[in-house]
Amino acid sequence: MIKFNDFEKEYLECKSELLDTFENTLQSGWYVLGPRVVNFENEFSNMFNFKHTIGVGNGMDAIELILRALNIKNGDEVITTPLTAFATVLAILKVGATPVLCDIDPNTGLMDIQSAEKSINIKTKAILLVHLYGRIENADNFKLLCNKNNLFFIEDCAQSHGASENDITCGNFGIAGAYSFYPTKNLGAIGDGGAVVTNNQELFTSIQKLRNYGQEKRYYHSLIGMNSRLDELQAAILSVKLKYLEERTMKRKEIANYYFNNINNDNIQLLSKPLNSKSHVYHLFVIKLFENREYFQNYLTNNGIETLIHYPVPIHKQDAMKGMFNNYVDLNNSENFSNECISIPCHPFLKENDLEIIVSAINKFQL
């Protein structure tokens, strides 16, 4: 079976470093928010030019913490996409605000800027742009749109570690960016983890407190915070893996290029290829079928190729979302996309032979 992700190979590639780190951390006797977290925060900031990185419990908390620090609350609206991880929207709901869903560009799966613009009204407080599948597009224009309408611009970078536009890494466009280090992400911990990145000093100080009960210093609380701390073990492991990120991202890009150059089947549509290779880090490689996706997925399974669907149900069609969102535009592109998309393996440990098997199976597929 060609796996969708290969965590074992990822571990084996840096096994001795990880085991050393593991042992050192256990020996240190300090397990939550300690020197390893600070060290990782600094490394992450330095790598991508953020003024501040704040290690937190997970990617969803990272979004919630940003919204809370910006005082976005009940009665406020936040514009985002129906084609994203459920966590994006859950974080908006958790602060009491209303998610407003706009439509997507069917060629990329990313939020459509015109559709976002049409969704702005007096209640709108922020646009939460998701760099879905690892791709950043139009970040400058979204920023302009936000500035023009006096809205906060927030980035969901959970899938896009290191993706950049005009040599500016995602997370630097908005007032803050939310990263996830869930194990499947391009930079993954061995459990949950996340980070808020920001160049805004005020936001930095308040989120640093908010993640840890809102405390100013130990046992003195200036804010109503939450518990969303990164632990030392995850931070130490992330520091090891961060050294491999660039090389692993290069592998993902090579795989994507191979797919762009070799997949050729009239029943299958590729998403648009980004003009700039730096703008996509291929967390996922997604293709579309106009019909019979399930049949295609079974066909690939029978050929030993594991696939997943991101995402089979758009946010507004989820059972839990009844009455929970607004939309001022129709969401047809998102609905069609959810029915058509399928993600094929794109992890950095695929071998040339695996790629040949995948492409040949896809090219031979007949309806």
Question: What does the binding site for ligand PLP look like in residue numbers (CB under 6 A)?
Answer: 58-60, 84-85, 87-88, 130, 156, 158-159, 180, 182, 192, 194
Which residue's CB atom is positioned nearest to ligand PLP?
Answer: 59
User: Which residue, 128 or 344, is less far from ligand PLP as judged by CB?
Assistant: 128
Q: How far is the CB of 295 from ligand PLP (least distance, A)?
A: 27
Contacts of 27 (CB under 8 A, 6+ apart): none
Closest distance to ligand PLP from the beta carbon of 159 (Å) = 5
CA distances from 245 to 44, 111, 186, 248 (A): 11, 26, 7, 5
The one-letter code for the residue type at 25 is: T
Q: What is the largest CA-CA distance in the chain?
A: 66
- Min CB(261)–ligand PLP separation in Å: 27
Give the burial class of 240: count Cβ atoms within 10 A of its Cβ; 0-12 exposed, 13-18 middle, 19 or more buried: middle
Toward ligand PLP, which CB reaches closer, 62 or 355? Answer: 62
> Considering the complex, what minimum distance in angstroms separates the CB of residue 84 from ligand PLP?
5
The answer to whether 196 and 176 have CB atoms below 8 angstroms apart is: yes
> 345 — alpha (psi -120 to 50), left (phi > 0) or beta?
beta
What six digits make up the tokens of 13? 């590639």
Nearer to ligand PLP, 130 or 350 (CB): 130
Which residue lies nearer to ligand PLP by CB, 158 or 187?
158
- Closer residue to ligand PLP (CB): 186 or 307: 186
Shortest Å, Cβ 29 to ligand PLP = 27
Nearer to ligand PLP, 48 or 182 (CB): 182
Give the nearest distance from C-beta 154 to ligand PLP in angstroms: 12
CB of 72 to ligand PLP, least distance (A): 17
Q: By C-beta, is 268 or 309 nearer to ligand PLP? A: 309
Is the CA virtual torsion 120, 122, 124, 126 positive or negative?
positive
Q: How far is the CB of 91 from ligand PLP (least distance, A)?
A: 8
- What is the distance between the alpha carbons of residues 191 and 296, in angstroms, rounded to a whole number? 32
Query: In angstroms, rounded to a whole number, what is the distance separating the alpha carbons of residues 311 and 337?
Result: 9
Of 130 and 271, nearer to ligand PLP (C-beta) is 130
Mark out the alpha helices in 49-167 (DSSP H runs): 59-69, 86-94, 113-118, 139-148
- Taking a C-beta distance cutoff of 8 angstroms, is the pair 98, 78 a contact? yes
DSSP string over 185-199: SSS--SS--EEEEES
Residue given tokens 């990329």 in the structure block: 108
